[in-house]
Every structure is written in structure tokens, then in C-alpha cells.
Chain A
Amino acid sequence: MPPDGGQLQGLRVVDLTQPLGQYCGRLLADLGADVVKVEPLVGDEARRMAPFTADKPPRSLFFDNYNTNKRSLAVDATATDGRTVLERLLRRADVWIETSDLADGGAARALDLPALRAECPEAVLVSLRGFGADGPYADYRPASLVLFAMSGLMHNVGPPHGPPVAAPGQLAYDLAAVDAASGTLMALLARRKTGRGQRVEVNVLEVLGMQLGPITSSPAHVSSRRGNRHAEIAPSGVYECSDGAVEIGVVMPTQWAGLKELLGHPPELEGAWDEREYRRQHADELADFVAARLRPEKRMELVERAQRARLPCLPVNTVADVAGDPHLNARGFFRSTDHLGLSYPRMPGAPFHYGVGGWALRRPAPDLGQHSREILAADLDYSGTEIDRLLHDGIVFAGLARRAQAGARVS
């Protein structure tokens, strides 16, 4: 195995997810798995989702984010010959991933995956669902916002008198996709011992539900929104400075001592304030006091001083701050896209840095059907004549350059 092949080199994955849940296949592809993204002839709906580049034609950055390092096969799963192509692809793969309960559930809707899996005992079928196949919400329509709202993680986030605010983007699905990727790897580890694959099901509501932790016994417990001050830890949360904001948190006695040191040991904070429970009960008074002291500060100077006093204090950064962040850049977190031929210069890397066989940007997110021809020929052993017929009949789409040549049409 070459040292840059990635932890998962040799793993063959068919990614039937769309338009959400695609982070699962991305995680596998980033570590070297061969992930074939199956798309309808009109392309994954994610290709038409904002934001876009200024390229002509524009590229969806939403699509790029979730599909870098994957290959694309565009095939009509509603046609018999299209399903045959997909079945041949699935039979030779280790892992199948699908999100068929979404509004646009993709090719998995047209296939009987459980029946096919019965014929492929080594395959791992990964189903990413909103709610799960049983229980009162089994027939509910899923969406990231809906699942986040139901999870209990949203009601206490937001302005005190305004609406609760959900996590941005598709974060609920992305969190679940990480567990789906871990479930995939666990099933593969189990297969090493048993020789058999299995079905893995991960439900977004339960992934979010893990954060409930110990179940509270009191039904009277009501959460309330407190802006950016957290209810249980005082002082904590976001504090404005003269040129931005910082977030601090005081949990341990050393951290409380650090805060007092940072503020120059103000006499107002002596006595009962040293008790965590007293601070919690008088959280607003304390927060107002701390806020007034921190407001004139410059945020990075404050962070440096606070850290010297062993107080957990970090700046509240924008996306632009993160892109220019000296720490992340010194770590080499952002990767150049020079070798990918994209109009934007950098992409985020991954949080895990392996000594050997790691994460890499191997290929850009594919154009629609970019790899259809090579997959049919090299992976599925279709002859040139058969491939031409599939293209001509509009069963498979092999990219724009190929379309003119083969005369295929997009339905």
C-alpha cells in the first residue's frame, strides 16, 4: 500500500444519498475509499443548491463541499437497463449508503436494496434516516430544521424574547452522517471476523438525542433562551470587546481565580462569589459586571492575557477570521486546490492528522456523469458496444464532452 493511499484505500462504496447525508461518503472518500456517487440524469439536486461560484457555468459549493474525492455515475434508475447497471455496481461494492426517506431520495427509491443485500451477504447497507422505521414519528417527513427543532437542542438557543434558532446549514444531517460513517467502519470490522456484512441504520433524531445525556426526572424543568450566556456555568458565554468579542467559561476554581486575576482582583468579586453555586444564582449580575470590564479591551490582547492567567478565553471569529487564522494556517489545515483545477484557491482539511496514510484532496467534486464511461468499462466490464448503446438510449449520461460524441440525451 503506498503511504499516501489513505486509511481506507481499496474500500468500494456506492453513495446513493441525495441531497443530504452526503458527508458520510465524503468522510470515506477523503481517506482513500473509492466512492461512486450515483446521480439521476438531471444530476443530484445538490448541484442546484446555493451558494455558487462565479464560474460559467456556476459550480454549487454546497455540492463541492459534500462530493470532493468522489466519482460520478449518472444513470436512469427508473429504466430496467439502468437498474441493471446499478445492480452490477452494487454487487461489487463493500458499502452502500442511502437516504431514501428524503423528499428526493435518489436511486435507492427505485431499487429493492434489502432484497439485493440478501444476495450479497458481504455488503454493508447503510441507511441514514430522519426518524427510524418504527415509533410514532416513523412516517414523518424529515428535514434538518425539523429534526433539530424536535431534538430539544434548539428551544433554549436564541434571543430571550424571539424565536429559537436552529443550527445553520444541514448540521443535523451532517452530525448523523459522521455516525453513519463510524457505523460503516464498525460493520466492516465485524465483517473481518464473521465474513458477513449487515444493515446499519442511523437516525438523525437519535444522533441529536445523544446530547440529552442523563434524562432529567423533573417534568417541570423548562429551558429558556439566554442569548449567549449559558445557564449552568457562570460566568460564561460571549462578551463584547472594543474590536469584536470573546467567549469565556469559568467551571473550575483555577478558572475563577484566572478571571479574577485577569480583572485585577476587583474587591467586588470577593467573598461569596468564590462559590460556584452562588455565581450561578447571581449569573446576570456577575455577567453584567464582567461585561463592563471587558468591553474596552482589544480582543486578541485580552485572549493572550486571559490564557496566561489560565482562563479559557478565545475570540469569536468570523469565517474570514478563521480563513486567515495564524494558528490554523500554521497547522496547515487549509489545503491548496492548485492540483484540482478549481476557481477557488483553498479548501478546509480534516481534524484528524494521521502519521501514515492520511486525508488528501485527491480529485475535485465530479461533473455530472464524469466517470460513467470508466466505471462501466473498467469496473463493470461493459463492452464498448454496450456502453455506446446505454449512452445512446439515454440510460447513462457520460458528461457533456461525451454527450456530443455519443449522441446521448438528457431526459
Chain B
Amino acid sequence: MTGLPLDGVRVVSFSTAFAGPTTSRYLADYGAEVIKVESLRRSDNTRNSPDSRREPSGVATSPQFQHFNRNKRDIAIDLSQERGRELMRALVQRTDVVTENFSGRVMNNWGMDYQSLRQVRPDIIVLDMQGMGQTGPWKDFISFGNNLHSYAALTSIWGYSHSSIADYMSAQHAVFAVLAALLRRNLTGAGTHIEFGQVEVIPAMLGTFMLDYFANGTVTRDVGNHSPIYAPHGCYACQGADEWCVVAVTSDAEWQRLCTVIDRPDWLADARLAAGPGRVRHSANLDAGVQAWTRQRRAHDVEEVLQAAGVPAAAVRTRAEMDHDAHLRARGFITSIEHPVLGEREHVGLSINFSESAGRTAGHAPLLGQDNEYVFGELLGLTTREIDDLAAQGVLT
């Protein structure tokens, strides 16, 4: 092991809700020192949820907040006061990356926009990640993951709106964008501004559908579980109530194995079905035939039998089933985090595995202001007395 890949990188994270905190959480998981900026007046909104508990300061915390904010430090500072902003500028001088997903005017009002921050630290990297971005006629529209999912056409293509995917997509792309800027700064010494429009993530990622529109005028809707590439490719009813499986044949070899397992020599002999395009043309018949077979079986039996034969297939799992999934547990993907208020709870682990470097999962989500002493004392050189006075004056609370 050679340590954490982002060891030595300091990040100041002004963020709330899902996408912004997930971005800085990725950086923290792989070694960056992430300092989350909150205040008693302005704390992260995921702290409040039906299963919240109170921190000693009176502010709430929650398992969800922990998921988005593990491994981070936290300062409580009121940036509506000039003394708070002065201390923040001093911290930014010692910082590599600033990330924020507040609504558009907030950082400007505090004088914490990129142009101001680069006066303080010329090679700073600043990531602004508003839902609608910082330019364009509707930049001030309020959005969140779900309705960006709809605005950006994923709901119409899919047929459904999903509650978490858009936020994760945004965070993952934002992490990539920050890492590229860090790599370039290593080579050139130059920082940069990254203006990130969450609204653009989906059309960028679903480029195939956009290109089909630009090239052919095709407006793809409600694709369901069908594929324009593969067949059979669908979700099929199984024996139990509300029990489903999926089968996805992605090669001729898998097709031949499927026909053998479900005992369809007629399909195997049918030249029209020998290659992918022919199977896609006849997918309705294939779906009916596959479902006639799965209906007689439990979903997990379908998965076991088809996977053993080398055909991609799975039981559709509920969320609760995944919480207890044997594979994720055997791989150590489910980890435990001890939190001073929430106690010990299980969480997901890491999605990027390194042979030489490490990631980390054990650091609990911060209590509000828990690192004021470290940041304002150790990093900025204030005495304990000064920090206490600033707390009493409402600057560091």
C-alpha cells in the first residue's frame, strides 16, 4: 500500500443535500482532507430526516447525512459576518479545491466566487455545481435530482423518474472533473474554475439517444426493458407474487445456451434467430416464450440455472434484499461506521478498488463544528481563547 491517492489534497466543501456532498465525499473517501462548511443557522438539509438524532449542539444528524458526509471534517462559521469571511479567505489560502452546490447567489454574496477566491489563492480549483448551472435564462430555477431527471429527458426515455440516479450521476461526473483539474495543476501549476451544470449530465451521458434525434429525428420514449441491440432482453414474471427476473442475451453463444436450458430446439434451429438483429426483430415472440418458462419457476432459481449455463440473468432484488446480499458482504462492500450520536450502523463501502492505494470508510459524518479547533487553531493559528471568543460572538457557530 502506498497510502490514499488524494492524501495531501485539501478541499473546502460548501454543500448541502445529495449531489454536492456526494462529490466531496468521494474525494474524502480516497484521502482528501475535506472541510465541510456549515453553521448553526445554515446546516446541511439531510441532517433532518425521520430517523434523525440530536447532536450535543442541538443540531440534528441522520444516517443519510452520514452516508453523504463520512470522512469529512466540519466547521461552524457564519459567513454573513465579515470576520467569518476573513477567516474563510485565510483557510482558502491553504486549500487546493473549493466545491459548492448552493443556489447561485450565495457564494457571490459572500465574496467567495471564483474570481474573488483566486485573488486569495491563484492556483485554486473551484467547482460550482448548480442544478441549472450559472449561466442561461433559467439559471435561478430551483431543481433537485428528480426533476432534473425529468427536465433532461431521462424520465421520458425511461418512462419513469428515479429517486437517486440523477444526483449520483452528477456527483460522479463532478468528481472526475475535479480530478482532471488536479492532475493538470500538478503538471502546469495552474488552477481553474469548473462551472458544472447538473442539468447537462443526463444528455451528455445519454448521448446515443440525443444523436438518434439529431441524425434521424427519433424521439425515444418509454423504452422499457427492451434493447435495440439485444434480444431476448427483458423483465419476466416468475412464480411468486410480485416476483420478477431479467434475462439479457448479449451474444450468439448466450443465445444458444438459453435455448438449450429452456428446451427450445425450435428456436435453435430457426435461422432467423441465429444473430442479434434477427432476434431483436422477433423480440415479442421471444419474450412470450421466455416468460412461459420463467412463470413456472422462482426468480432465484431462474438466476441460478441460467447463470450456471452462462446466460446473463438475475432475480430482480428489492432494496432490502440488497442490504443483506451475500456477494456484497463477502466482498467487504458493506462496512460499519461508529458514530458518536447515531451509534454503530452499516453503510455501503467503496466503488473504486486499488491494488496499491487505499480508500477509507470508517470516518463518521462530522458533528457540526467539530473541527473548529483544528482548522482555526492548528491551520490558521488562532488561540483557543480567540476561538472561544469568536464562538461567543456568533462568528464560529
Q: Are A331's CB and B176's CB within 8 A?
A: no
Of all chain B residues, which has the CB nearest A151? B322
Q: Are B215's CB and A237's CB within 8 A?
A: no
Q: Which stretch (A286-294, A316-324, A379-387, A391-399) binds chain B?
A: A316-324
Question: Bound complex: CA of A177 vs CA of B182, how far in Å?
Answer: 20
Q: Are B237's CB and A163's CB within 8 A?
A: yes
Min CB distance A13 to B, Å, is: 13
Q: Are B314's CB and A150's CB within 8 A?
A: yes
List which B184-198 residues lie within 8 A (CB) of chain A: 184, 186-188, 190, 192-198
Tell yes or no: B152 within 8 A of A by CB.
Answer: yes
Min CB distance A292 to B, Å, is: 20
CB neighbours (8 Å) of B149 from chain A are 247
Q: Are A64's CB and B211's CB within 8 A?
A: yes
Q: Are B176's CB and A357's CB within 8 A?
A: no
Contact with B along A204-237 (1 / 0, CB 8 A): 0111011111111111111110011010100011
Question: Bound complex: CA of A183 vs CA of B141, how far in Å?
Answer: 33
Q: Are B323's CB and A331's CB within 8 A?
A: no
Min CB distance B198 to A, Å, is: 7
Contacts between the two chains (Cβ within 8 Å), count: 482
Min CB distance B163 to A, Å, is: 5
Question: Bound complex: CA of A186 vs CA of B5, how far in Å?
Answer: 6
CB neighbours (8 Å) of A211 from chain B are 164-165, 168
List which A37-86 residues lie within 8 A (CB) of chain B: 48-51, 53-54, 61-62, 64-66
Known: A132-B331, A215-B346. A311 touches B142 (CB 8 A): yes
Q: Are B254's CB and A103's CB within 8 A?
A: yes
Tell yes or no: A390 within 8 A of B by CB.
Answer: no
Min CB distance B24 to A, Å, is: 13
Candidates B64, B133, B233, B253; contact of A331 at CB < 8 Å? B133
Question: Bound complex: CA of A187 vs CA of B317, how far in Å?
Answer: 33
Of all chain A residues, which has the CB nearest B307? A140
Question: Bound complex: CA of A349 vs CA of B168, how far in Å?
Answer: 19
Q: Considering only CB atoms and an 8 Å cut-off, how many residues of chain B contact the other chain?
A: 154
Tell yes or no: B66 within 8 A of A by CB.
Answer: yes
Question: Bound complex: CA of A34 vs CA of B323, how far in Å?
Answer: 41
CB neighbours (8 Å) of A249 from chain B are 144, 146-147
Of all chain B residues, which has the CB nearest A220? B320
CB neighbours (8 Å) of B333 from chain A are 206, 209
Tell yes or no: B356 within 8 A of A by CB.
Answer: yes
Min CB distance B172 to A, Å, is: 4
Q: Which stretch (B222-230, B264-272, B369-377, B378-386) binds chain A?
A: B222-230
Tell yes or no: A154 within 8 A of B by CB.
Answer: yes
Tell yes or no: B239 within 8 A of A by CB.
Answer: no
CB neighbours (8 Å) of B161 from chain A are 228, 230, 237-238, 247, 316
Min CB distance B160 to A, Å, is: 5
List which B264-322 residues lie within 8 A (CB) of chain A: 276, 280, 307, 310-322
CB neighbours (8 Å) of B314 from chain A are 140, 146-147, 149-150
Q: Are A307's CB and B142's CB within 8 A?
A: yes
CB neighbours (8 Å) of B214 from chain A are 323, 344-347
Known: A215-B348, A319-B156. A348 touches B203 (CB 8 A): yes
Q: Are A181's CB and B176's CB within 8 A?
A: yes
Q: Are B160's CB and A228's CB within 8 A?
A: yes
Q: Are A190's CB and B319's CB within 8 A?
A: no
CB neighbours (8 Å) of A209 from chain B are 322, 328, 333, 348, 351
Contact with B along A140-177 (1 / 0, CB 8 A): 11111111111111111110000111111101001110
Q: Are A312's CB and B143's CB within 8 A?
A: yes
Q: Are B197's CB and A222's CB within 8 A?
A: no
Question: Bound complex: CA of A64 vs CA of B209, how far in Å?
Answer: 11
CB neighbours (8 Å) of B350 from chain A are 206
Of all chain A residues, which has the CB nearest B215? A344
Candidates B2, B327, B347; contact of A137 at CB < 8 Å? B327
CB neighbours (8 Å) of B327 from chain A are 131-132, 135-137, 205
Question: Bound complex: CA of A141 vs CA of B3, how far in Å?
Answer: 33
Question: Bound complex: CA of A154 vs CA of B142, how far in Å?
Answer: 27
Tell yes or no: A35 within 8 A of B by CB.
Answer: no
Candidates B146, B328, B354; contact of A230 at CB < 8 Å? B146
Tell yes or no: A267 within 8 A of B by CB.
Answer: no
Q: Are B67's CB and A313's CB within 8 A?
A: no
CB neighbours (8 Å) of B323 from chain A are 152, 212, 215-216, 219, 221
Q: Are A328's CB and B200's CB within 8 A?
A: yes
CB neighbours (8 Å) of A354 from chain B are 177, 181, 192-194
Tell yes or no: B221 within 8 A of A by CB.
Answer: yes
CB neighbours (8 Å) of A350 from chain B are 173, 200, 204
Tell yes or no: A351 within 8 A of B by CB.
Answer: yes
Q: Are B352's CB and A330's CB within 8 A?
A: no
CB neighbours (8 Å) of B224 from chain A are 165
Q: Are A179's CB and B352's CB within 8 A?
A: yes
CB neighbours (8 Å) of B148 from chain A are 314
Contact with B along A166-203 (1 / 0, CB 8 A): 11110100111011111101111110111010111111
Question: Bound complex: CA of A199 vs CA of B1, how far in Å?
Answer: 12
Of all chain B residues, which has the CB nearest A224? B242
Tell yes or no: A327 within 8 A of B by CB.
Answer: yes
Q: Are A186's CB and B160's CB within 8 A?
A: no
Q: Are B204's CB and A351's CB within 8 A?
A: yes
Q: List 30 A-B contacts (CB under 8 A).
A: A1-B187, A8-B183, A51-B218, A61-B211, A62-B208, A132-B327, A140-B307, A149-B235, A152-B321, A156-B319, A163-B234, A165-B235, A168-B158, A169-B223, A175-B165, A186-B6, A187-B5, A190-B356, A209-B328, A214-B64, A223-B319, A303-B141, A317-B156, A319-B210, A323-B213, A328-B200, A331-B197, A345-B214, A348-B204, A352-B177
Known contacts A228-B161, A355-B195; 8 further A-B pairs (Cβ under 8 A) = A141-B312, A149-B314, A155-B316, A156-B318, A189-B6, A219-B320, A315-B151, A322-B152
- Shortest 5 CB-CB distances between A and B: which pairs? A152-B322, A214-B63, A143-B248, A352-B177, A103-B251
